Amino acid sequence: MLAQFAGTLVSGALLGGAAALAVRLSRGRLAVWIVPLAAGLGMLVFVVSWDYSWRLRAAAALPEGMVVARIVTARRWERPWSHIRPVAQRLVAVDRAAARPLSSRRDLVRTTLRVVGRAGGSVDLPVVFDCSDHRRADLFEGGEITDDGRLVGLHWREVPAGDPVLRAACGAA
């Protein structure tokens, strides 16, 4: 957040300074009001580009073996440009390097999902996917899964067959 604030100020100062220099060099032929206009436009362009490049920066910061499976976008009233094209708010990444099928049931894959939020936090969630029946069990809820695939203290959640998180997890094992 601090980097975005600093970048916004710097881009506004650079474009405003360039406009001030242009006004000075034109010896009054350019209107003085272009200085704050240029500064404001510079800051706006920086903020919009920062918003849309966040998902690329967040994906690049993921450790080796993690692949982005889902990007959650949203339209926000304080970001009018997001009504034209929604801005990424969250990433869901699958740790393909850690994905392991259970020893007795090869169709059950245990892995970790990393949810990365725009506000800077991330959470690692241990899960098990049933690749043949398109289900997921969330191990972070406090239960466990036995070697033969029985859930203890958990329940299966149905997942659509084409779910990108399911496909990424099941394709890794």
Query: Could you report the per-residue pLDDT of 123-150, keeping only the tens digit for each?
Result: 999 999 988 899 999 888 788 887 777 7
DSSP helix/strand/coil, 109: strand
Q: What is the dihedral of CA 165, 168, 169, 173, to 10 degrees?
A: 170
Element (H, E) at 140: none
Q: Which of 56, 50, 53, 55 is CA-nearest to residue 12?
A: 50
Query: CB count, 10 Å around CB of 170?
Result: 21
Write out pLDDT tens, residues 42-57. 999 999 999 999 999 9
pTM of the predicted model, to two decimals? 0.81
